[in-house]
Amino acid sequence: MPNFQIPQVQKVAIVQKTGGTIEIQKDYPVRQQNQLAPGECLIKMEASGCCHTDLHAAIGDWPIAPMTPLIGGHEGVGIVVAIGSNTNASPVQLGDRVGIKWLADSCLNCEDCRKGREQNCASAKLSGYTVDGTFAEYAVSYVNHVTPIPEGFPSDAAASILCAGVTVYRAIKYSQTSAGDWIVLPGAGGGLGHLAVQYARARGLRVIAIDSGAEKKKLTLSLGAEVWIDFKESKDIVADVRLATGGYGAHSAVVTAAHSSGYTQALDYLRPGATLMAVGLPGTSTLNASIFFTVFKSISILGSYVGNRQDAREALDLAARGKVKVHFITKDLKELQNVYDGMAAGKVAGRVVFDLKK
């Protein structure tokens, strides 16, 4: 049985109150083994991705408020170094390398959990939102929901699969598309979007990437998008999509833009029978859908919210086998505010991953 030395204090990135500045605190307490409840585990973090959701949490622009003070982060990978006493039949053991995703825990027994929509569980705990997250050297999580990381898959390369990857993997899985269909990805150059390009390609879909700027254009085309549309330069996005799809429009759109503008044209560039997958989460916007054309074109409008434990394993498996790769740069946690600023300005192509081993 490995015996881990667990320090009393650690470095974390913390927001004292919503909308406030991020502080790096170096003497934040580490929960010790005897302070863990049954079912809880302590993870020594190695890497954490930075999702746009963490930015929403820090500025508080969603209708459901996060807790404060808040340690954000929900795309983490690390080692299990302690497990709460009296934890029954833990699926993970000390020394295992595991991932922490947005859905930190759920009851596993309610109707939503039983139906595989664990993320909709009324007792769901959310990493970096309703419980402290992964922007820390040590994070407390839950044995039933941490995800085993396939051997040989580096922690920094795996981290962003735990949210960005799982989320778009599931959204595409339920997008009612088949190989050869056209899928439009507004937000394609961002964290979720660039993985969506690859999960879509892995399913044989033809990708139209929508985002802005030379770097995101190069990234999405290099990952297999066939068509690029710059939403800041295009004079008519609907016409551009129709032109690319032989006049009919696309079979699906998976919108990962964090802004409502990513949604506005979607119903017009989709063909009859198509599916609009809402993923990006502008906090207060509404989706303006023509009822007439939604009916007349038999359009499905679906919301897709992260994924369950099985989605996490499937998304990680494809990535560990090299079918999908996170395009990331590594930064120190003290850069968090700068990363948020870059993300708000649409300047982050792919992902930023924090190295938490230092």
11 vs 259, beta carbon nearer ligand NAD:
259
Give the nearest residue (CB) to ligand NAD.
190
- Residue in 45, 51, 250, 348 binding Zn ion, rule: CB under 5 A: 51
CB of 66 to ligand NAD, least distance (A): 12
Distance CA 165, CA 192 (A): 7
| By the rule CB under 6 A, 186 interacts with ligand NAD | yes
- Residue in 104, 208, 306, 320 binding ligand NAD, rule: CB under 6 A: 306
| By the rule CB under 6 A, 52 interacts with ligand NAD | yes
| Residue 101 partner contact from ligand NAD, Zn ion, none using kind-dependent CB cut-offs of 5 to 8 Å | none
| Residue 212 partner contact from ligand NAD, Zn ion, none using kind-dependent CB cut-offs of 5 to 8 Å | ligand NAD
- Residue in 66, 78, 128, 189 binding ligand NAD, rule: CB under 6 A: 189
Size of the residue set binding Zn ion (CB under 5 A) = 3
CB of 104 to ligand NAD, least distance (A): 14
- Residue in 261, 290, 298, 338 binding ligand NAD, rule: CB under 6 A: 261
| By the rule CB under 6 A, 211 interacts with ligand NAD | yes
Residue at token pair 């946690």: 333
Size of the residue set binding ligand NAD (CB under 6 A) = 34
- Residue in 53, 220, 252, 265 binding Zn ion, rule: CB under 5 A: 53
Q: Where are the beta strands (DSSP E) in the chain?
A: 9-15, 22-29, 40-49, 76-83, 97-100, 103-105, 125-126, 138-142, 147-148, 182-186, 206-211, 227-230, 250-255, 270-278, 300-303, 328-331, 351-355
CB 149 within 8 A of CB 155: yes
| By the rule CB under 6 A, 167 interacts with ligand NAD | yes
Measured in whole angstroms, the distance separating CA 157 from the mean position of its chain's CA atoms is 14
Distance CA 309, CA 325 (A): 20
| Residue 31 partner contact from ligand NAD, Zn ion, none using kind-dependent CB cut-offs of 5 to 8 Å | none
| Residue 165 partner contact from Zn ion, ligand NAD, none using kind-dependent CB cut-offs of 5 to 8 Å | none
| Residue 159 partner contact from Zn ion, ligand NAD, none using kind-dependent CB cut-offs of 5 to 8 Å | none
| By the rule CB under 6 A, 280 interacts with ligand NAD | yes
CB 210 within 8 A of CB 261: no
CB 150 within 8 A of CB 315: no
30 vs 333, beta carbon nearer ligand NAD:
333
> Segment contacting ligand NAD (CB under 6 A): 29-37, 132-140, 238-246, 275-283?
275-283
> Segment contacting ligand NAD (CB under 6 A): 88-96, 105-113, 313-321, 342-350?
342-350
Reduce the secondary structure of 25-64 to three states and give it as a string.
EEEEECCCHHHCCCCEEEEEEEEEECCHHHHHHHHCCCCC
CB of 54 to Zn ion, least distance (A): 7
Distance CA 273, CA 287 (A): 19
| By the rule CB under 6 A, 257 interacts with ligand NAD | yes
- Measured on CA atoms in the order 132, 138, 141, 147, is the torsion positive or negative? positive
CB 54 within 8 A of CB 105: no
Tell me the DSSP string of 200-261: HHHTT-EEEEEE-SHHHHHHHHHTT-SEEEETTT-S-HHHHHHHHTTTS-EEEEEE--SSGG
User: Which stretches of the chain bind Zn ion, using CB under 5 A?
Assistant: 51, 53, 163
User: Which stretches of the chain bind ligand NAD, using CB under 6 A?
Assistant: 51-53, 56, 163-164, 167, 186-187, 189-193, 210-212, 216, 231, 256-259, 261-262, 279-281, 304-306, 343, 346, 348
